[in-house]
Amino acid sequence: MTAQTGKDLLIKLDMDDTGNFSTLAGLRATRLSLNAESVDVTSLDSAGGWRELLGGAGVKSAALSGSGIFKDAATDARARQIFFDGELPEFQVIVPDFGILQGRFMITAIEYAGTHNGEATFEMSMASAGELGFTAL
């Protein structure tokens, strides 16, 4: 995998629950975190006293976050609606030269900020809410 441009890591949101994905506009920074809990099955019989883990047994999760400026009223409004209505819509995360992750996420936090002589900004955090699909690019 060669060096990639950060702006190509995209977070897309299903705008109307029909697979109509739009990029969350105005994002300047995005982050994807994939996690898997480990299940320790170490016992007195473990070779050399080394920890042993049970493969495939832990809970998997993903977290998304992004920050940016207000750019597009449609995606801004949809994100607010999702948060206040407690919806779990489909999101896509496009990681260049890696793949596309798709599944349901909950918007767990939205933060707004601004200064009197600067632009209004926002930060958003999302947590996976079910199985995610992966398509390699």
Residue 115's CATH number: 2.30.110.20
Would residue 92 count as lying in a domain?
Answer: yes
Number of domains in the chain: 1
Would residue 29 count as lying in a domain?
Answer: yes
Would residue 48 count as lying in a domain?
Answer: yes
Torsions phi, psi for 84 (to 5 deg):
-70, -30
Q: Please provide the size of the chain in residues.
A: 137
pLDDT 10s digits, 14-55: 999 999 999 988 888 999 999 999 999 999 999 998 999 999
Is the whole model's pTM more than 0.75, yes or no?
yes
pLDDT 10s digits, 56-88: 889 999 999 999 987 767 888 899 999 999 999
Q: Print the domain residue range for 63.
A: 6-136
Would residue 56 count as lying in a domain?
Answer: yes
